[in-house]
């Protein structure tokens, strides 16, 4: 049984919720399509309400918070029901708050020095951001040799065409992306389209050794599925 958010599904939808009323139908469509892990970014005023709604109404979803920037946001997100936390970068203060939160977290990195600093602090799982702009698969491949203990969820510029290349890397557990929740589909409430796009994204892991799966429960550790 996996103990990491990196092992629950090959693709993590990174969603921006403008209207909290969209959160539950969107989450249901994503889960139905095979993507139970959902990162709701703190980029809109509706984000915390969206996390709260999904946590209450979609038990088969593992909803988390992204773009976490401050210790105060850590507290707010966990109180709202976030089951994991993701940041685009990190400071010692933010890292301490995430570590004390009681939920899994992925601090963001884009350089080897940041990776080494996190490994020194006992953190082995990280978000690689912005993935494409920071060097893409070539950069991550270069890190695998000298820093084999580090595992990543690359996010930023990931799409259906390059996602399989990332998922094939030994130090990548999953990728984050937005293509399965296009803005026009969300605006139109076209949840069938979201479901089909999610189904396609979930299938991207079949060639990389990832086997997505999920069993509902109280924590991320209750989710099923393996990667490598």
Residues designated as active site:
39, 127
State the Cα–Cα distance between residues 78 and 175, nearest whole angstrom.
Answer: 23
State the Cα–Cα distance between residues 108 and 49, nearest whole angstrom.
Answer: 24
State the Cα–Cα distance between residues 197 and 182, nearest whole angstrom.
Answer: 9
Phi, psi of 100 (to 5 degrees): -85, -5
Secondary element (H or E) of residue 32: helix 23-32
167: tokens are 């998922």
101: tokens are 């939160």
State the Cα–Cα distance between residues 212 and 9, nearest whole angstrom.
Answer: 4
State the Cα–Cα distance between residues 195 and 27, nearest whole angstrom.
Answer: 9
């Amino acid at each position: 049984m996996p103990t990491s958010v990196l092992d629950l599904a090959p693709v993590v939808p990174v969603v921006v919720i403008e209207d909290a009323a969209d959160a539950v139908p969107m989450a249901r469509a994503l889960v139905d399509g095979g993507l139970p892990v959902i990162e709701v970014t703190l980029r809109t005023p509706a984000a915390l309400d969206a996390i709260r709604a999904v946590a209450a109404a979609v038990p088969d979803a593992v909803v988390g918070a992204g773009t976490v920037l401050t210790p105060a946001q850590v507290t707010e997100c966990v109180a709202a029901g976030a089951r994991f936390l993701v940041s685009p970068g990190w400071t010692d203060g933010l890292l301490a708050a995430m570590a004390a939160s009681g939920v899994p977290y992925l601090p963001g990195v884009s350089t080897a020095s940041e990776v080494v600093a996190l490994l020194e602090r006992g953190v082995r799982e990280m978000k690689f951001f912005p993935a494409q702009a920071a060097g893409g698969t070539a950069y991550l491949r270069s890190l695998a040799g000298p820093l084999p203990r580090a595992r990543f969820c690359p996010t930023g510029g990931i799409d259906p065409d390059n996602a399989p290349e990332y998922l094939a890397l030994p130090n990548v557990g999953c990728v984050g992306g937005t293509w399965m929740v296009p803005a026009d589909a969300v605006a139109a409430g076209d949840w069938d389209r979201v479901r089909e796009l999610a189904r396609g994204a979930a299938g991207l892991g079949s060639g990389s050794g990832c086997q997505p799966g999920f069993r509902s429960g109280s924590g991320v550790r209750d989710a099923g599925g393996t990667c490598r």
